[in-house]
Structure 1
Amino acid sequence: MAKFDSAKKFLSHLKEQTPSPRYALLSCGEHVRIDPLVREITKHLFPSDIRKSLETVRMRGKDLKQRELVRFLDDTKALSLFAQARLFWIRDADQIPAASLDDLLSALHTCSPEIAIVFTCNKIPATHKLRKMLQKDSLFLELKPLEGADLKRWTIARLRAAGVTRFETRVPELLMEIGDHSPDRIAPLAEHIALYAGDALIEEKHLFEVFITHPHPNEFTLIDVIARKDVAQVEKLIQELLSTGKSPFLLVSMLGRTIANYIALGTLQDEGKSPTQIQTQLGLKPWVIKKTTEALRHYPKWKREKLMYALLKADGKLKNKSLGPAAILSELAYEMRP
């Protein structure tokens, strides 16, 4: 009797079983990880020559009641020399009606050799009959959410699977931040950035260009409060943003984007470019140009250059961990005052 929490160990266990098991249960709260695991599990339930013509039947646990259950049980017992091999993939297995469980569990031990059943769900209670039986048979895999270094390795692998092989060091971490550390959100972001960049090197700025179009309202407020020189409110907002899990690197990048807008727009204004030319060249939305133009009245050229130096200094301090994030952000905000 065993419960596995490692996909590698679970797959190795399946491989060692003779004859091959006819069923398995996978619990994982991250949907994007389930599909590839079901494919891997299938490899250990059917020989390679049978998998070529394998039919996969997808069902929902909640649908296995009365008439549907009878039909399903008949299908799993169909014995025929010419029967097509089938994989029944039952999603949301924790929602199988209680009245159906006993008949279903009894049927698992009498499955046709051409049939295999994989149950998947986000989470299943330890007291659930299905879990208790499959755990007793050592056919239950429960994956924990990916975190920290494991999530970073997964994100890097996802980028490479999407065709992104060249990227700056901090790109995976930024992608994790933008995706709220959720594999289900990170996966489509990785595919999106792959389409955006093609074979080019993915830089941090690309992530901001593609994904960070609407910062958190408090981030806009932070810039406005900095412009008003309201030190107490700046400190309060920084603490609020950090306490909600906002990455200090992301906040510095957001402030850096504002500084970059100041410098780029100011330079073009100094060159005598018209508002239309500036908007075309920078690709900024009209409201961003208006907001930046208003702020530029307080930032002459010498001060804009000083802002870039302050940004680089803050970024370096964050990477070297020479001060706490709140102190570094407060220092940068102070340097950004008009």
Structure 2
Amino acid sequence: MKPRSPKSPKDLFKALLSKKRFPRAVLVLCEDYIRRDRIAASVAKKVASECGGAAPSIIRIKAEELTAEKLRSFAEESMTLSLFSSARVYLIERIDNLKAMYHPSLLSLFSSPPSDAVFVCLGTKLPKNTKLYKFFAEQNLSLEIPHLEGYSLQRWIAKECSRHGLAISRSCLTEFSSLVQRAAEADGVPPADMAASFVSKLALYCEDGKVSKDDLLAIVPELIVPNEFELLDAIANGDEFLSEKIISALFHVGVNPFLLLSLIAKSIEKEMVIKYLSEKGYTPGEIRKSLRMTQWQFSKNEARAKCRSIKYIVESMKDILKADMDLKGRSLSDENIFSLLSSRLQQKTL
């Protein structure tokens, strides 16, 4: 019979840490590096406590680099540790890249008698129909950490600020969370990793330990005001005057032109995916979940997608590529390049 599982990944991890001995192997699936790494550190700390406080040896290896020879070596090492040897924690990173041919060998290793070796498999996702996933799921050894957005992201940021000794007001936290989501989407980085990076900078910048909106502006000025998403709306609405006004304001505060171009490109790319999946019969909820977008982001992109044709999207991407080449070639000023791009995109909406 399958063991009864705690309600959440957090509860499950606490239950595993409370055991007299940590399990031989555990699976950690999480989109961001920061939370995966902290879970691995907690496992190492637990193993150390089991060995009288002596820090275990940490061995990191990428799953795609595993070979039959290395797996045999792991098996021998994990079973021959003596009382005088340091315990070992093997961190198998990017487990989703492990070749299927090595799944049986790895499962055999995990099923071996307990020793002073612990294996932590780290990745972002793993198909549920694989033997590897089923092995961990059936024994309640799979920690599937949820995506952060909205309130959950705000709460995580607040804890991260507290971790660095920073105090942040509710209004500032809301602004910070919005900033993180926009920056994460523009850079293609998980929100938690982006937030952790910003908080570490704020910890160095804020001398009094209190985060203000001015502090946020000083850390990432191009992402606060004015709002780049207003530019996307102005272009979609064919409002050339407002588009020019926003572009001028953005470059006045020192916007990163490549970041702005990336935002425009990714927005149009998402519109194409939304349009395609909608035509295939997927519901808005299913599409939003697959794209990992907040409701606000999805609503904006969905509204624009309904007004687009595939031809428009293809031609728009060509214009974006030209703008990218112009930025690199510096044939015009950055502001003029975006003015021309905005004009071309609006002409296609007419």
TM bracket (short chain): 0.5 to 0.7
Does 2:123 align with 1:114? no
Q: Is the 8 A contact 1:59 1:91 kept in 2?
A: yes
Structure 2 residue runs without a partner (length 5+)? 185-190, 255-299, 301-350
Residues 209 and 162 of structure 1, relative CA distance in 2, 3 Å threshold: same
Instruction: Give the structure 1 partner of residue 264 of structure 2.
Output: none
Instruction: Give the structure 1 partner of residue 206 of structure 2.
Output: 197
Partner letter of residue 131 of structure 2?
A: K
> Secondary structure of 1:179's partner?
helix
Q: Is the 8 A contact 1:5 1:142 kept in 2?
A: no
Alpha-carbon offset, residue 57 of structure 1: 0.9
Alpha-carbon offset, residue 179 of structure 1: 2.0
TM-score by length of 1: 0.61
Alpha-carbon offset, residue 122 of structure 1: 0.7
Alpha-carbon offset, residue 235 of structure 1: 6.6
- Structure-2 separation of matches of 1:205 and 1:90: 42
Alpha-carbon offset, residue 105 of structure 1: 0.6
Partner letter of residue 49 of structure 2?
A: P
Alpha-carbon offset, residue 219 of structure 1: 5.0
Q: Which of 131, 142, 145 is matched with 1:143 structurally? A: 145
- Structure-2 separation of matches of 1:9 and 1:220: 38
Residues 112 and 19 of structure 1, relative CA distance in 2, 3 Å threshold: closer
Instruction: Give the structure 2 partner of residue 309 of structure 1.
Output: none
Residues 86 and 205 of structure 1, relative CA distance in 2, 3 Å threshold: same
Instruction: Give the structure 1 partner of residue 170 of structure 2.
Output: 169
Partner letter of residue 173 of structure 1?
A: T
Q: Is the 8 A contact 1:168 1:204 kept in 2?
A: no
Instruction: Give the structure 2 partner of residue 186 of structure 1.
Output: 195
- Structure-1 separation of matches of 2:159 and 2:227: 33
Q: Which of 85, 93, 96 is matched with 1:94 structurally? A: 96
- Structure-2 separation of matches of 1:84 and 1:195: 36
Instruction: Give the structure 1 partner of residue 216 of structure 2.
Output: 207
- Structure-2 separation of matches of 1:131 and 1:220: 39
Alpha-carbon offset, residue 10 of structure 1: 0.9
Partner letter of residue 179 of structure 1?
A: V
Q: Is the 8 A contact 2:21 2:50 kept in 1?
A: no
Mean Cα displacement is larger for which, 62-71 or 85-94? 62-71
Q: Is the 8 A contact 2:47 2:87 kept in 1?
A: no
- Number of residue-to-residue matches in the alignment: 241
Alpha-carbon offset, residue 49 of structure 1: 4.3
CA RMSD of aligned residues (A): 3.7
Alpha-carbon offset, residue 106 of structure 1: 0.8
Identity of aligned residues (%): 23
Partner letter of residue 25 of structure 2?
A: Y
- Structure-2 separation of matches of 1:114 and 1:75: 10
Instruction: Give the structure 2 partner of residue 28 of structure 1.
Output: 30
- Structure-2 separation of matches of 1:30 and 1:237: 37
Alpha-carbon offset, residue 208 of structure 1: 1.3
> Secondary structure of 1:90's partner?
strand
Alpha-carbon offset, residue 5 of structure 1: 6.9
Deviations 1:162-221 (A, max 9, x none): 2212x3332222222222261111111011112111225321122112211377998599
TM-score by length of 2: 0.59
- Structure-2 separation of matches of 1:19 and 1:185: 34
> Secondary structure of 1:157's partner?
helix
- Structure-1 separation of matches of 2:77 and 2:45: 21
Partner letter of residue 89 of structure 1?
A: L
Does 2:156 align with 1:154? yes
Alpha-carbon offset, residue 11 of structure 1: 2.1
> Secondary structure of 1:41's partner?
helix
Structure 1 residue runs without a partner (length 5+)? 226-230, 242-253, 262-283, 286-324, 326-338
Q: Which runs of 4+ in 1 moved over 4 A?
A: 2-5, 15-19, 43-46, 214-222, 234-238
- Structure-1 separation of matches of 2:47 and 2:176: 35
Residues 236 and 134 of structure 1, relative CA distance in 2, 3 Å threshold: same
Instruction: Give the structure 1 partner of residue 49 of structure 2.
Output: 47
